[in-house]
A = this chain, B = another copy of it.
Amino acid sequence: MDFNHSDDRRMLADMLGRYLQERYAIDTRHAISNSQAGWSSEHWSALADLGVIGALFDEDVGGFGGTGFDIAVVFEQLGKALAVEPFLGTMMAGRVLARSGGQHALMEKVMAGGSVLAFAHEEAESHYDLAEIAMQATAEGATLTGTKSVVYQVEAASHIVVSARVAGSPGQETGIGLFLVEAGAPGLAIRGYPMIDGGRGGELTLSNTPATLLAEDGFSLVEDAVAAGVVALSWEAVGIMDRMKADTLDYLRTRKQFGVPIGKFQALQHRMATVALEIEQARSAAINASVSLDDPRIKRERAISAAKYTIGRVGTLVVEEAIQLHGGIGMTWELPLSHYAKRLTMIGHQFGDEDHHLARFTALSMA
């Protein structure tokens, strides 16, 4: 048993944390988030130079990380800084490329910061069900037609990993192929938009768009990518929760009502104790999910669903209690807390909410 990160990972986390603290303060973050691009290629390159992208991938594709705890330390820091850069999509899509065994040149460029990837899987009818896929590949697998929903930072991507039916029908796990599509390919259209929690996303429509086949039977690669995505989001959430806890404790210490700091009020103290306790449970869930990435499927997916359920449940609690304990000021744009609250809420809407993963945990337990 050892709950300390390795020296390498700790150094990476420290370096990334320092960079974001110094160069990615909340005003900078808002400016980037509200910019037309919704991300910053400048910071992206700088972070690539620091090795942050390389840390997300394993040595087979030229990275130097890629385990659950590599993902953990990076996304925890990104969460603390509320970064909107396209790490999630790049990590997930890159993971598919790595595991489908090709695209070394592209991955090299990605890790050098010269290219951004997006992962386009869910569709309007999916509602978190990974097998509910209708995007159609032609029989030869050379072109794709259909629409993908709410693809994170899709406008930023040079290449997009897209899932599509090579066989079967929506709801079936078999017959889902994975493809690589280039930005600007014929028939590709993106309707981009801002996200309520910062950054941008988009609807990706393909119409006979040429694509490169990555894997014919790709469902297990999708699950693997989403599992890694859930690990990333869990740690992003833990980073956010720690920040919201610190901010709220600070407010309880300094804000006075009825002549005393409001942290003196026992009813608020006990609620804060519950919040702190639940955050420790969420951290444990994130640890369990990180460990599980190398486990056999059922064990891994149970830990993944347990973590996402926990993050969803605790996330809502932290958001609602942190705002309530702040009172009106906690709802203002001016206070960073409100932006952390929005992001934490929306993490609950990515790759399955609390209920989805609770039911999935049960189903996996019976499998």
Contacts and interface: CB of A to CB of B under 8 A. Distances in A.
Interface string A244-268: 0000000000000000000001110
A270 B266 CA distance: 10
A270 B270 CA distance: 11
A316 interface: no
Contacts of A41: none
Contacts of A266: 265-267
A269 interface: yes
Interface in A227-281: 265-267, 269-270
Contacts of A267: 266-267, 269-270
Contacts of A269: 267
A2 to B, nearest CB: 37
Interface residues of A, number: 5
A265 B266 CA distance: 7
A270 B265 CA distance: 11
A265 to B, nearest CB: 6
Contacts of A265: 266
A36 B270 CA distance: 47
Contacts of A270: 267
Nearest to A270: B267
Nearest to A265: B266
A266 B267 CA distance: 5
A269 B267 CA distance: 8
Interface in A102-138: none
A231 to B, nearest CB: 33
A269 B268 CA distance: 12
A38 B346 CA distance: 58
A202 B265 CA distance: 52
A53 B270 CA distance: 49
Nearest to A264: B266
Which one of A265, A267, A269 has the highest number of Cβ atoms from chain B below 10 Å of its Cβ? A267
A266 B264 CA distance: 10
Interface in A13-58: none
A86 B69 CA distance: 64
A266 B269 CA distance: 10
Interface in A265-323: 265-267, 269-270
A137 B60 CA distance: 73
A360 B266 CA distance: 40
Interface in A188-238: none
A269 B270 CA distance: 12
A294 B266 CA distance: 48
A229 to B, nearest CB: 32
A265 B269 CA distance: 12
A99 to B, nearest CB: 42
Which one of A265, A269, A270 has the highest number of Cβ atoms from chain B below 10 Å of its Cβ? A270
A228 B270 CA distance: 42
Nearest to A273: B267
A345 to B, nearest CB: 25
A235 B113 CA distance: 69
6 contacts: A265-B266, A266-B266, A266-B267, A267-B267, A267-B269, A267-B270
Interface of A: 265-267, 269-270
Q: Which 6 A-B pairs have the closest CB atoms?
A: A266-B266, A267-B270, A266-B267, A267-B267, A265-B266, A267-B269
